């Protein structure tokens, strides 16, 4: 039994699931800032995972089963702005780590199998995983509604942590915010959000993009397309009358939108029509907290290998990918070819895609921060007939020190020693602000 500011929750063996940090976002509230949850008069059952944000089912990428990453998809239930908490036995004043999941801003959940916090609790850390609004409810930029509502949800979760985490054995003054992919991009934006000041003392960005936000002009293009697909006007009143199932059903119609404008390229290369909407990129602001950030060596393989495109890509495909992110694609292709003279067209395409989505923005983010530690994860998964490699998301089982995911890691025994090394670096950073290597040096894992 744990008493929170909203009521008592009953968990099981140091694990508490499905604890609300904000009121259910239903009706018009889906397009408003999060508000406090009403107190519950009785003991709340926190022994089972709860509902998830409305989202389309995304089990896989082609031949790759990614259900361990995305979780169960949409588990209906209004009360889904919740956290899961893993606590060390008899813990007191422990460091706290708050994890923000990825999923392209349209999918994912804090209850995905990859995000089990057992190893963190075992090593003296209170681990919190967060659900937040996704897709149209979370990130569509609608006139009359606050921007980046999914980010505001994470901010509300951090405030819940500040109020309540001591009851779970955590130190509210020693909080590390970390995330992967879209979650890492949200972390980067919160570093530059004044309202988040003091809510976390350290941050980790795993394969995020400090240059990944849409401009208001780009976001308006998505809003118009969503309104047209739904047959409504682009106003908050019109969107508020559409039920969640229709908002989710329209998402496929928004994929592949060309968001290139006169002044900007699409930072997500058409892979998602949703991102943060900011006037200023996260990498353009300096944060006064220690930051650990990095990427995987073959990020782009996730978007090519499972679909067969790592093998079938042509040089035309390479040029088309470069054109989505660069003003002079021919020069870009020539530069990558010089750097990777033996690469196949698929490997060139993957390298260009990985840098455009994650690498360039991560390096830019690192360049402007004062105290920052960088890493590169290079262990190669043997999934997808050995082609997946050090792709996007492959580092997650190593961070969580839980390697039982052959869907992502491939057959055979992944190196337990590497999981120990990576996980310990994350825990050490949460505990001390120092992961184990000096600033200015990039630690290579695997």
- Positions marked catalytic: 181, 299, 392
What letter does residue 181 receive in the DSSP assignment? T
* Cα separation, 4 vs 1, whole angstroms: 10
Contacts (Cβ under 8 Å, ≥6 apart) of 222: 140, 141, 214, 254, 257, 259, 273, 274
Q: What is the dihedral of CA 3, 30, 57, 111, to 10 degrees?
A: -10
**Closest by CA position to 383, among listed 57, 58, 66, 59:** 66
27 and 242 in contact (C-beta within 8 Å)? no
DSSP letter string over 216-256? Answer: HHHHHHHHHHHHHHHTS-SSHHHHHTS-HHHHHHTGGGGTT
Sign (positive/negative) of CA torsion 214, 217, 218, 222? positive
Determine the Cα angle at 157 with ends 152 and 158, to 5°. Answer: 95
Q: What is the Cα–Cα distance from 71 to 287, expressed in whole angstroms?
A: 32
Q: Which residues contact 220 (CB under 8 A, 6 or more apart)?
A: 141
- Cα separation of 102 and 214, whole Å? 17
CB count in 10 Å sphere of residue 338: 8
Are the C-beta atoms of residues 207 and 268 closer than 8 Å to each other? Answer: no
Please tell me the distance from the alpha carbon of residue 366 to that of residue 376, in angstroms, as a whole number: 13
By the 10 Å C-beta count (0-12 exposed, 13-18 middle, 19+ buried), 33 is classed as middle
Alpha carbon dihedral 303, 305, 310, 312, in 10-degree steps, equals -100
Which secondary-structure segment (H or E) carries 370? none
Residue 418: partners with Cβ closer than 8 Å, 6 or more residues away: 379, 398, 445, 446
Give the three-state DSSP class for 335: helix
Q: Which of 128, 248, 113, 108 is nearest to 183 (CA)?
A: 108
């Amino acid at each position: 039994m744990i008493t929170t500011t909203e009521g008592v929750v009953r968990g099981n063996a140091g694990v508490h699931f499905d604890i609300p940090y904000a009121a259910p976002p239903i009706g018009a509230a889906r397009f408003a800032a999060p508000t406090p949850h009403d107190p519950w008069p009785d003991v709340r059952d926190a022994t089972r995972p709860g509902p998830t944000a409305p989202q389309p089912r995304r089990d896989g990428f082609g031949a790759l089963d990614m259900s361990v990453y995305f979780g169960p998809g949409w588990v209906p239930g209004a009360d889904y702005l919740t956290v899961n908490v893993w606590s060390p036995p008899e813990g007191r004043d422990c460091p706290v780590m708050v994890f923000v999941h990825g999923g392209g801003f349209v999918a994912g959940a804090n209850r995905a199998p990859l995000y089990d916090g057992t190893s963190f609790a075992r090593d003296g850390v209170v681990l919190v995983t967060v659900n937040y609004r996704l897709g149209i409810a979370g990130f569509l930029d609608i006139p009359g509604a606050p921007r980046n509502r999914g980010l505001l949800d994470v901010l509300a979760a951090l405030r819940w942590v500040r109020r309540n985490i001591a009851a779970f054995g955590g130190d509210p003054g020693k909080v590390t915010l970390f995330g992967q992919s879209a979650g890492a991009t949200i972390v980067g934006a919160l570093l530059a959000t004044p309202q988040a000041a003091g809510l976390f003392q350290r941050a980790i960005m795993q394969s995020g993009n400090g240059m990944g936000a849409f401009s208001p002009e780009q976001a308006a293009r998505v809003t118009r397309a969503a309104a047209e697909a739904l047959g409504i006007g682009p106003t908050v009143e019109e969107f508020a009358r559409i039920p969640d199932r229709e908002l989710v059903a329209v998402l496929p119609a928004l994929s592949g939108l060309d968001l290139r404008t006169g002044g900007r390229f699409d930072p997500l290369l058409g892979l998602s029509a949703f991102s943060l909407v900011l006037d200023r990129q996260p990498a353009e602001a300096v944060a006064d907290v220690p930051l650990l950030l990095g990427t995987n060596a073959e990020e782009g393989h996730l978007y090519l290998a499972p679909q067969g495109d790592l093998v079938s890509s042509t040089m035309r495909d390479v040029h088309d990918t470069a054109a989505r992110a660069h003003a002079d694609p021919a020069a870009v292709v020539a530069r990558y070819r010089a750097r990777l003279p033996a690469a196949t067209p698929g490997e060139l395409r993957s390298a260009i895609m990985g840098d455009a989505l994650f690498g360039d923005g991560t390096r830019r983010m690192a360049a402007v921060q004062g105290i920052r530690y960088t890493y590169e994860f290079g262990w190669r998964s043997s999934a997808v007939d050995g082609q997946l490699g050090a792709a996007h998301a492959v580092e997650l089982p190593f961070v969580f020190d839980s390697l039982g995911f052959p869907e992502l890691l491939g057959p055979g025994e992944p190196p337990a020693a590497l999981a120990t090394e990576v996980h310990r670096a994350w825990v050490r950073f949460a505990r001390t602000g120092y992961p184990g290597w000096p600033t200015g040096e990039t630690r290579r894992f695997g």
